[in-house]
Chain A
Amino acid sequence: MASLGIVKEVKRPKPLSTNSAIAYATKDLDVDVVSAYPITPQTTVVEKIADFIANGELDAEMIHVESEHSALSAAIGAAATGARTFTATASQGLALMHEILHIASGMRTPIVMSVAMRALSAPISIWNDHSDVMNARDSSWIIYFVSSAQEAYDTIIQAFKLAEDSEILLPVMVSYDGYVMSHTIEPVITEERDDVLKFAPKRPFSYRLDPDKPVTMGPIADPNWFYEIKYQQVIAMEKALVKAREIDEEFKKTFGRGYGIYECFMCDDAEALIVAKTSYATTLKTILPRMWEKGYKVGLLRLRLYRPFPVEDFKNILDKVNAILVIDRAISYGAPLQGPLAMEFSSLISREDLNLNLTSVVAGIGQRRMIDSDFENLVKLAWESRTKKFDKTIFYGVRT
């Protein structure tokens, strides 16, 4: 990354897993309250935070709650009182929180949560896919998918700045692949706490529970009011799209690292695109250059900000290609396209009257192995889909 002159010195990276990187981010953000329950593969996030608190490196209250339902409930209480509040979960834990996810956003509490994505039972699986987060996509949380430990660290910092913005006040989920990322050690540059707090200053939001300015939070709203209150969330989401981009740009100016709200890799002159996220996107980046050498001009659209969905950007990107292949790591059972993300791109294509083929591929369910040759197959399939329509969702790698 080219220095913009503001970066003071070359920083030495630390060897950190994505889980540890996230714990470091909470420390550097001087988080006040951490409310979490153990679940594989999220656990080491909270263990690392506990180490920081135990050693006096972070001054925070850790609430050792008795369930994820209570984890998020306590987080709402803490955030509503004005504390910078963090939680982390995965899979069944996220599912157990589901009721409270909607309340956290409806009450506009700026909580940040990391999700080490994992399949949902049954059968029980501790391995990675994206069914947990996709199941929570309509809960009015801002959702990021990150692709490296460094991006996770940086995005947690961006997420607090975004969540706590008085125009936004929505909770943020930062999601990444369980095990594949959560437990893989990568070089991560961490920043000084003073610099992080300068970038994301703590500002308890104005509608907190304060005896000097008492407010009633979480009342009952009859049909004459409910709709408008929910519509305010729609507006906040729209604003978040603009704000997230600005925050990332500011982050890049401050720390020298930026990601945009999505990434288009080898998109120039590409005739087809693969839409992927998290570790699959990273793997594809290593595959695509050699596939181009073989004549497959396929680019990668890496999803980073998922909610709000960068509609305009994606429209412009899709406009330039003949085909997209969307990889889903979750299944929408019985739906017109059984990849939930593919359905969203399909609706974008039809709404914008774009003329291109869309192929829906489900892969890596319950962490079914995907190696280089599998990704090469998908690149070839994307290439083929320029001239051939695949109507049904392809369940790649399943034994039938």
Chain B
Amino acid sequence: MSKLYKSLFEFPREERFVSGHRLCAGCTIGPVMRLLTKIAGKDTIFVNATGCLEVSSTPYPYTSWRNPWIHVAFENAGAVASGVEAALKILKKKGVLEKDIKVIAIGGDGGTVDIGFQALSGMLERGHKVMYVLYDNEAYMNTGIQRSGATPYGAWTTTTPAGKVWRGEWRPKKDIDSIVAAHRVPYVATASPAYPIDLANKFKKGLDYTEEGPTFVHILIPCTTGWRFDSSLGIKLARLAVETGMWILYEIDHGEFRVTYPVKRRKPIKEYLKPQGRFRHLTEEEIEKIQKLVDKEVERINRIVGKEVIGPVA
């Protein structure tokens, strides 16, 4: 394992995800990609599923990517990355390629937990040396805020509207990280753009461990248009998600579960929900129900760790 980052000043200076892209103002995937490409460096091939990031960063004939980058379709980033990795492996073996080239696949929540789930599972199960980065904005934002398997309980989307009968999404968010971990891959982590050093080190570990097999980094990406909040609040909301226990930062390093950002006293979930238009319809009782769901998840995590790493609501 190479040295981990301790401060922002240690991040590589070279820009590899460059300006001019068409992401929404205030979108949090831009800074995350900027960081990811810096840490990955020059000798990395990126495979991108269809989604916000893909369409916004490559409007022909322009591109924001200074690395080799490929997009094929929505549901197959895992498969395309498998093909790239297999090709690199055999071309190196046959002496056509000399250097080591890393492979990173990137998909949104729809492209990963729903339509791309099978291709992802295949890639993980076959042991391809790829780091898969899931940027999770909790709905199909690129097509206009439709519900996905990663949409949280209570959230309004255009296909789970809040009306007299429906009250937004009524099913809990799919636990993709446990499913990925069940493939017994060397590294699984959750991360947040509000904690860049934690995020950078997870990218670093994820990339280093690809020597052994596939790795997975799951980032919660606040979406100004889909979550309906002021475009200046993205990072703040990402932080509130962690501080309220809605999003717990952890890693599973060779089966070893570790919370990387313990929270002694949680803020009430209301503080996370309030600035977001997608939760505006919720009543006090419904907010209370979400609080209970969060409490239950915190309990589950504390039980795995074996001690209270995420504390009670202050």
Contact = CB atoms under 8 A, between A and B. Distances in A.
A64 interface: yes
Interface string A195-221: 000000000100001110011111111
A67 interface: yes
Nearest to A76: B72
A74 interface: yes
Interface string B148-178: 0000000000000000000000000000000
B84 A81 contact: yes
A219 B58 contact: yes
Interface residues of B, number: 48
Contacts of B63: 216, 219
Interface in B239-283: none
Contacts of A100: 72-73, 76
Contacts of A64: 126
Nearest to B47: A77
B49 to A, nearest CB: 11
B45 to A, nearest CB: 5
Interface stretch (A55-63, A282-290, A377-385): A55-63
B84 to A, nearest CB: 4
A335 B6 CA distance: 68
B229 interface: no
A250 interface: no
Contacts of B61: 219, 225
A225 B61 CA distance: 8
A204 B95 CA distance: 13
A59 B94 contact: yes
B90 A77 contact: no
A74 B60 CA distance: 23
Contacts of A71: 79
A33 interface: yes
B79 A73 contact: yes
B68 interface: yes
Contact of A78 (B58, B73, B84): B84
A74 B73 contact: no
Contacts of A209: 45, 68-70, 84
Contacts of A32: 87, 90-91, 94
Contact of A220 (B54, B75, B99, B126): B54
Interface stretch (B115-123, B184-192, B211-219): B115-123
A204 B92 CA distance: 13
A216 B69 contact: yes
A80 B70 contact: yes
A32 B87 CA distance: 7
Residue picked from B76, B89, B99, B101, most chain A C-beta under 10 Å: B76
Given A65-B79, A211-B43, A33 B90 contact: yes
Interface string B99-128: 101000000000000000011011001100
A99 interface: yes
Contacts of A33: 83, 86-87, 90
B96 interface: yes
B59 A214 contact: no
A156 to B, nearest CB: 19
Contacts of A386: none
Contacts of B71: 217-219
Nearest to A80: B70
Nearest to A107: B72
Given A73-B73, A218-B71, A78 B65 contact: no
B90 A210 contact: no
A220 B73 contact: no
B100 to A, nearest CB: 10
Residue from B44, B65, B69, B83 whose CB has the most chain A CB atoms within 10 Å: B83
A74 B80 contact: yes
B67 interface: yes
A215 B156 CA distance: 39
A82 B83 contact: no
Interface in B1-54: 42-45, 47, 54
Given A73-B72, A76-B83, A214-B68, A67 B118 contact: yes
A354 interface: no
A82 B91 contact: yes
Contacts of B75: 69
A225 B60 contact: yes
B12 to A, nearest CB: 15
B194 to A, nearest CB: 29
A81 B88 contact: yes
B126 A63 contact: yes
Contacts of A140: none
B235 interface: no
B86 to A, nearest CB: 4
Interface string A157-183: 000000000000000000000000000
Contacts of A81: 45, 83-84, 87-88, 91
A330 interface: no
B15 to A, nearest CB: 13
B300 interface: no
14 contacts: A33-B90, A69-B119, A73-B80, A73-B119, A79-B83, A83-B90, A85-B83, A107-B72, A211-B45, A211-B99, A214-B65, A214-B68, A218-B58, A218-B70
Chain A to chain B: the 10 pairs with minimum beta-carbon distance, closest first: A77-B83, A74-B83, A70-B79, A81-B87, A219-B58, A73-B76, A66-B122, A83-B87, A73-B79, A218-B71
